[in-house]
Structure 1
Amino acid sequence: MQSTVSSSVPPAARKYRYYDFILVAFVTVLVCANLIGPGKAAQFELPILGTVVFGAGVLFFPIAFLFGDILTEVYGYAHDRRAVWCGFFALLFAAFMSLVVVNLTPAPGAHNTNLQSGLEIVFGNTWRIAAGSIIAFWCGSLVNAFVLAKLKIYTAGKYLWVRTIGSTAVGEAVDSTLFYFLAFYGIWPLKQIIAVVIAQYCIKTLWEILATPLTYRIVAFLKRKENEDYYDRNTNFTPFRVKV
């Protein structure tokens, strides 16, 4: 069996079997979670806490952070940063497309008139949601990757759960706070925004904890198959770079 290589030399010239698949999945989850989910504030009842209000996107958005953890842990910060920029441009295009589609004059007929009203309700605030998503996601994801990369060196590659949960706790705090204030301040009551931010943060962090066994399996599989276990000892951590 081929052993996993622990490397700190930038692997820019290397070709990976699974990186592109993870990148595509990452961007898909990101776009769907940020455009479909956040516009709806849902709630459920808990025995002790009572009514908990949360953004519907919280059910799926943590998957993007899970992919981010995996990318940084296996391939290094630079590869995750590249994925973040791909997500950035995907969200930018989605916002532009939504703006164009909503503002096109609908064809005559009751169906098209009703459809236009629905599109305006669902996607009319997309530009603001996308702006909040882009800024919050960009900041939160890069903070998440930075913390995980540094913790990996500090722990000498041990205690993966500390890195994934710790980095997510920091990154999600940045992401959730920025997004909901940028996207919904002045639309939702301030009390509701704060409640959703707190619930969002707790649920996302809990999601990461529950997903830890799955993260371990995926990371172990990729490290073995890719023969890579990257350490960011000599990495340029500037966020303003796409090249790995």
Structure 2
Amino acid sequence: MSKPVAVTADAIAGRTFRYYDLVMAAFVVVLLLSNVIGAEKRSVIPLPAIGPWPFGAGILFFPISYVIDDVLTEVYGYARTRRVIWTGFAALAFMAVMEWTVVRLPVAPGWTGQAAYERVFGAGWRIIGASLIAFWVGGLLTSVALARLKLLTDGRWLWTRTIGSTVVGQAADSLLFYPLAFYGLPDWPASALGATMLSQYVLKVGWETVLTPVTYAVVGWLKRAEGVDVFDRGTDFSPFGARV
């Protein structure tokens, strides 16, 4: 492995990297599975001096997508991360269409699993739309914040930008998702909505902080493996750009 060379994003335009596609695949897999497997289950853990602490099971794995977002931006730059986020957005949208279609297909005589299938995969369009919007905005803000903090710190103190970008991105994610998905519903009074938003936000940022050593290890290994350390000087931070 070679020592990483500090370069601007323009200097690597069009370059092929060995592990970029694998990191993209990991991001999309974590994103889809955390939305399918963990989104619906509510769990609880007993905390000393606090008592039972409820949380959504998806929070155990969904923040890993933000860790990968950080890794992508730190190693490959904002433009390539933007492409990954759009890929994840398209995958989530396709999953939503597929779920909606399969749930509503006519049931074969004798098959008794429709109720369970609807319970697991029958999320309403309000929740699906909220999830798509929150992910897209939160993911892009995380990447922009990290790229700009990297320039501000001249590449030092990685932990400040991985945690700082998550503080920004997860705030947008939580502030968008919960009101868009649940505001005004009988089961979600304003007090419960606010408490859930705050709880999930604190847990997500805390999880990112705990995973900081893992982020350091992965970032260091990938930079050495790819031989570059990308700085987004002169980068177009538009969310709709296509150039990498």
Unmatched 5+ residue regions in structure 2? none
**Secondary structure of 1:240's aligned partner:** coil
Q: Please tell me whether the aligned partners of residues 144 and 171 of structure 1 are also in contact (alpha carbons under 8 angstroms).
A: yes
| 1:136 matched residue in structure 2 | 134
| 2:202 matched residue in structure 1 | 202
| 2:170 matched residue in structure 1 | 172
Q: State the shift of 1:9 in Å.
A: 3.9
| 1:225 matched residue in structure 2 | 225
Counterpart code for 2:224: R
Q: Distance in 2 between matches of 1:122 and 1:55?
A: 14
| 1:106 matched residue in structure 2 | 107
Report the more deviating stretch, 183-192 or 80-89.
183-192
For 1:41-120, what aligned pairs fall within 5 Å after superposition?
41-109=42-110, 112-113=111-112, 115-120=113-118
Q: State the shift of 1:195 in Å.
A: 2.2
Counterpart code for 2:173: D
| 2:238 matched residue in structure 1 | 238
Counterpart of 2:120 (choices 119, 122, 125) is: 122
Q: State the shift of 1:25 in Å.
A: 0.5
Q: Deviations over 1:3-50 (max 9, x none)?
A: 211111422211100000000000010011123222223222211222
| 1:37 matched residue in structure 2 | 38
Q: Deviations over 1:153-185 (max 9, x none)?
A: 000000000000010011111112212222233
Q: Distance in 2 between matches of 1:146 and 1:196?
A: 26
Report the more deviating stretch, 124-133 or 145-154.
124-133
Closer, same or farther: CA 13–221 of 1 in aligned 2, 3 Å? same
| 2:14 matched residue in structure 1 | 13
TM-score by length of 2: 0.94
Unmatched 5+ residue regions in structure 1? none
**Secondary structure of 2:167's aligned partner:** helix
Aligned length: 241
Q: Deviations over 1:72-95 (max 9, x none)?
A: 000000111111000000000000
Closer, same or farther: CA 193–35 of 1 in aligned 2, 3 Å? farther
Q: Deviations over 1:179-221 (max 9, x none)?
A: 2222233164233332221111111111111111111111000
Moved over 4 A (4+): none
Q: State the shift of 1:56 in Å.
A: 1.3
Q: Distance in 2 between matches of 1:106 and 1:118?
A: 13
What is the identity percentage for the equivalent residue pairs of Structure 1 and Structure 2?
49
**Secondary structure of 2:54's aligned partner:** strand
Closer, same or farther: CA 39–188 of 1 in aligned 2, 3 Å? farther
Report the more deviating stretch, 91-100 or 233-242.
233-242
Q: Distance in 1 between matches of 2:18 and 2:130?
A: 33
Q: State the shift of 1:126 in Å.
A: 4.9
Q: Distance in 2 between matches of 1:195 and 1:59?
A: 18
Q: Distance in 2 between matches of 1:162 and 1:69?
A: 11
Q: Please tell me whether the aligned partners of residues 9 and 77 of structure 2 are also in contact (alpha carbons under 8 angstroms).
A: no
Q: Distance in 1 between matches of 2:232 and 2:6?
A: 10
**Aligned alpha-carbon RMSD (Å):** 1.5
| 1:189 matched residue in structure 2 | 188
Closer, same or farther: CA 79–160 of 1 in aligned 2, 3 Å? same
Is 1:2 the counterpart of 2:5? The answer is: no
